[in-house]
Amino acid sequence: MTIAPRIYLASKSPRRRDLLRQIGVNFDVLTFRSGERGEDPDVDETPLPGEAVERYVERLALAKAQAGVRRVRWRKLLPQPVLSADTTLELDGEIIGKPRDSADAHAILARLSGRSHRVLTALAVSDGERTRSRLSTSEVRFRTLSEHDIRRYIATGEPMDKAGAYGIQGHAAIFIEEIRGSYSGIMGLPLFDTAALLDVFGYPL
């Protein structure tokens, strides 16, 4: 009997899980625990001084994939390719990640109001021998948001765990006038690039 190929997903994001299921990828979620065996703390997401957003997001995706491979070895799990991703937002040359609290979410959304910004998602796949990455860049334009729009959206709780304080697949869809690029990339997993990377590692799609 042929065993269906599988990968590890080094992400807790339910959106990334749903997107992988959408294209028929079989996966196991690889959870991270900070400081496992005292040797490998979770990936530090602090931008380096002067670091370009493209380099930042790719560095994190690669670090997560490589940390995932180490965990597979530590836990003596079945060897399978590890897929990781990192998504961030760029506005005026500044890297904008997840909001610290509701006040920060409010400040981020006010800055995005009536303007265009970039959403960058980097992917990385590693099997311990090879590591490959790809970068997806999209442009998103928000309509002008009122104070009521922002407060009502923050009250949903949706912005708090998302880069840029919004999720395109949720209520914030009504804020978006235009996108250029990958819709799934803005969600956090560009499926075209995901399929291309998995093909490099022999995963059939």
Q: Going residue by residue through the chain (205 aa), what tens digit of pLDDT does each one get?
A: 567 799 999 998 999 999 999 999 999 999 876 544 444 556 778 888 889 999 999 999 999 999 999 999 999 999 999 999 999 999 999 999 899 999 999 999 999 999 999 999 999 999 999 999 999 999 999 999 999 999 999 999 999 989 999 999 999 999 999 999 999 999 999 999 999 999 999 998 8
CA distance 56 to 84: 14
**pTM, full prediction:** 0.90
For residues 16 and 191, give the distance between their C-alpha atoms in angstroms, rounded to a whole number.
10
DSSP β-bridge partners for residue 36: 40
Burial class, 35, CB count within 10 angstroms (exposed 0-12 / middle 13-18 / buried 19+)? exposed
In a domain, 73, yes or no: yes
Per-residue model confidence (pLDDT) at position 2: 61
Domain span at residue 195 reads: 7-200
Q: Give the model's pLDDT for residue 3.
A: 73
Kindly state the helix (H) or strand (E) to which residue 177 belongs, with its residue range. Answer: strand 176-180
Structure tokens at 60: 């994190």
CA distance 83 to 132: 10
Domain assignment of residue 87, yes or no: yes
In a domain, residue 37? The reply is: yes
Residue-level pLDDT at 1: 54
Rounded Cα gap, residues 52 and 49, in angstroms: 9
Question: For 134, left (φ over 0), alpha (ψ -120 to 50), or beta?
Answer: beta
Q: Which CATH number characterizes residue 114's domain?
A: 3.90.950.10
Report the pLDDT value the prediction gives residue 44, as an integer from 0 to 100: 79
List the catalytic residues: 86
Q: How many domains would you assign to the chain? A: 1
Cα separation of 99 and 104, whole Å?
Answer: 5
Query: Does 174 reside within a domain?
Result: yes
**Residue 205: inside a domain, yes or no?**
no
Residue 140 domain-assigned?
yes
CB atoms inside a 10 Å sphere around CB 113: 16
In a domain, 1, yes or no: no
Contact predicate 16/189, CB 8 Å = yes
144-165 burial, b for 16+ CB within 10 Å, e for fewer? ebeeebbeebbeeebbeebbbb
Residue 205: predicted pLDDT: 85
Residue 2 lies in a domain: no
35, 79, 81, 199 from 45: Cα distances, Å: 15, 27, 23, 28
